[in-house]
Amino acid sequence: MATNPTFQSQLRALTRAASDLCQPDGDGAVRCVACAHRCRLMEGAQGICGMRFAENGALRVPFGYVSSLACDPIEKKPLYHFLPGSEVVSFGMLGCNLRCGFCQNWTISQAGRDETAVAFPQRIEAAEIVRQARRLAAPAIASTYNEPLISTEWSLDIFRRARAEGIRTCYVSNGFASPEALDLLEPWLDAINIDLKCFTDVGYRKLGGRLQPVLDTIRRLVERGIWVEATTLVVPGFNDSPEELADCAEFLASVSPDLPWHVSAFHADYQWHEGPSRTPVATIERAVQAGYGAGLRYVYAGNLAGDAHGSTRCPGCGAALVTRRGFQVRANEVVNGGCPLCGVAIAGVWQ
């Protein structure tokens, strides 16, 4: 954990006592149930995330700050079937419940764990984040950048205010959730992108987690009517075998063939140096084919150049309905949730 006293004192000041997602656990301990780690904390101890801690018999949780606040294209989350072409006010905090050596956002996700992660918190009121969304006419707010499950209480304070203003709500998460967190979150959540990082428990153990809770989260949220999209960062030597990519695709298709799957190319940016520094284009294209082969209707090569890799096509007639260049929507031909040419319904939230 980071030892910078200024950093630690700032974080401790920006907390509140949890009224949910915690349970007394005997001998003065408290159990945090914000994620699938279910950390049992004695007085003064921090959870695996480094951001939730026990103090005076209570669980203190992150509250009242952001590490990042921006207005992004919804496609950047990525959410391609949820209000495409719109802007989303995006906020993040600090910390994560996993420790991925290939994290692309490590300067905030690994704060409190890695001394070189130097992001600092900035105080803000929940109402101000909602005011910014209203001022920018953004139809949605997203908890993103770091892992939002470890600060669900703060997200919910924002989301409840957003819903009162007619603004929709999103998470970008690793999905390593507890049932208790999902119970608390579901009534206030409209859409989520979940990282499916690999399809083996051995792989997840390397990242500090387990596979099954992530699979359970994906299946449960789809069943409960939350709009779900999934992303897999394809990392050479970690999760890029044809067998593992096929396993990811087959699981997602078993949940719903309408669940969009984004397969993205890795580039070396943090501590992962076990293979090539970039994912070959051929590997990403193989993953896309694995998705379609498993029966998924919408598969995207998230960060390859060209309209073909990011366009939404009708699964009935093949027409390009939402044409994208990078994060920019260049055309949206979906009419009343369907293809104007053949009438097939296109899964998603379109208005």
Classify residue 200 as exposed, middle or buried by CB count within 10 Å of its CB (0-12, 13-18, 19+): middle
Query: Taking the mean position of all CA atoms in its chain, how far away is CA 171?
Result: 5
Taking only the tens place, the pLDDT of each residue in 62-118 is: 999 999 999 999 999 999 999 999 999 999 999 999 999 999 889 899 987 888 877
Query: How far is Cα 51 from Cα 49, in angstroms, rounded to an integer?
Result: 5
Q: Which amino acid, residue 314?
A: C
Which candidate, 145, 127, 203, 212, places its Cα nearest to that of 175?
A: 212
All residues at 6 or more sequence positions from 259 whose CB lies less than 8 Å from its CB, including other chains: 218, 222, 228, 229, 230, 252, 253, 296, 298
Mean pLDDT, contiguous 10-residue spans, the chain (351 residues): 66 92 93 98 95 95 96 96 98 96 90 80 96 98 97 98 98 98 98 98 97 98 98 96 98 98 89 82 95 98 73 96 93 97 97 86
pLDDT computed for residue 1 by the predictor: 43
Taking only the tens place, the pLDDT of each residue in 2-14 is: 456 677 788 889 9
pLDDT computed for residue 153 by the predictor: 98
Q: What is the DSSP string of 174-236?
A: ---B-HHHHHHHGGG--EEEEE---S-HHHHHHTTS-HHHHHHHHHHHHHTT-EEEEEEEE-T
Query: How far is Cα 278 from Cα 289, in angstroms, rounded to an integer?
Result: 20
Query: How far is Cα 141 from Cα 171, in angstroms, rounded to an integer?
Result: 9
- Superfamily of 65-312 according to CATH: Aldolase class I (3.20.20.70)
